[in-house]
Amino acid sequence: MNIKMNILVTGCKGQLGTELQKIADRDHQHRWVFTDVDTLDICDKDAVEQCFADHQTDACINCAAYTAVDKAEDEPELAEKINAYAPQVLADTCLKHKALLIHVSTDYVFGGNADKPYRVEDEINPQSVYGKTKAEGERLIRESGCNHFIVRTAWLYSSVGKNFVKTMLMLGDTKDEINVVADQKGCPTWAHDLAAALMALLNKNGKKPVHETFHFTNEGQITWHDFATAIMEIGGKTCKVNPITTDQYPTKAKRPAYSVLDLSKIKEYAGIEIPDWRESLVKCIEELNSGLLRSSQ
Ligand SMILES: NC(=O)c1ccc[n+]([C@@H]2O[C@H](COP(=O)([O-])OP(=O)(O)OC[C@H]3O[C@@H](n4cnc5c(N)ncnc54)[C@H](OP(=O)(O)O)[C@@H]3O)[C@@H](O)[C@H]2O)c1
């Protein structure tokens, strides 16, 4: 069987990386190499070069990032190193090896004052250290001249790691009521759907030259309060979810009030349909419940 591409995945133990591992388990088209910081620190230029050379990398999917949004306000240098310097290292190495870089960015590059979904070409205006470092990572990749897809996503969750869905389900087991912000609007993204979309882009493009940015979330527009309410409902929790304002829930990093992303470009380019947020949430909670069931047997 002809292998189409050698694909290197960085940050593979995170939410997105884990979903790509599931795709790779079923995939016979490509040869996959999975790394995380313990096997490949993407800030280590020489190690990245060696890894690309060893595996004759055709495409690198960068799932590694500094994702602790509030903590980044206290650790701007580390966030900058992982979210901006390291993507530049990957981009330069991709350029040298004529490989494609698929890099994931965030809705937090936008200011959050819009009243309609952000399009890819809309002006960015990041409000937090995390958003600024991710925006810088994007800029450095574009400036490198390497072949790349940059895919901005938002409110990512999955059945692994720490995320809003798992936190709400845990609170649903331990609290009678909770308060959740009802004046920030966006759309969640199931990491499973994002991983599938990245593969659709990669397979559609093959080894052709490309320099494109896309937006990918699930379909729809909701607030964190809507999201929490749906999680409790679908998860079968009786915990009451009270709406509060952003002012009543101060955080270190400022969040955009509105960060819905316009998905038309990726749908057209990759020829994909994107599931509605609620449909994917149901599937993720089913997956979580079946995991719990298996571990209790
Ligand atoms: N999570 C969200 O809500 C969200 C929203 C919008 C965009 N995004 C973007 O989506 C992408 C995937 O996010 P995710 O939620 O899957 O991230 P994640 O779960 O935090 O996983 C990131 C992985 O990268 C690893 N890593 C950190 N520093 C590294 C380094 N120097 N070298 C190699 N690996 C390193 C982490 O290891 P440690 O855990 O040991 O640090 C972790 O395994 C990221 O680019 C993120 O910025 C995420």
Q: Which residues contact 153 (CB under 8 A, 6 or more apart)?
A: 104, 105, 106, 107, 189, 194, 215, 216, 217, 261
Q: By alpha-carbon position, which residue is closest to atom 17 of ligand 1?
A: 14
Q: What is the predicted pLDDT for the residue at 176?
A: 97
Q: What is the predicted pLDDT for the residue at 293?
A: 59
Q: By alpha-carbon position, which residue is closest to atom 33 of ligand 1?
A: 37
pTM to 2 decimal places: 0.97
Domain ranges of the chain: 6-162+188-219+258-275
Q: What is the predicted pLDDT for the residue at 219?
A: 98
User: Catalytic residue at 118?
Assistant: no
Active-site position among 130, 249, 258, 269: 130
65 Cα: distance to centroid of ligand 1 (angstroms): 4
Q: What is the predicted pLDDT for the residue at 294?
A: 65
What are the per-10-residue average pLDDT scores of the chain (297 residues)? 87 98 96 98 98 98 98 98 98 98 98 97 98 98 98 97 97 98 98 98 93 98 98 98 97 97 98 98 96 66
**CATH of 6-162+188-219+258-275 given 3.40.50.720, 3.40.630.30, 3.30.70.1730, 1.20.1260.10:** 3.40.50.720
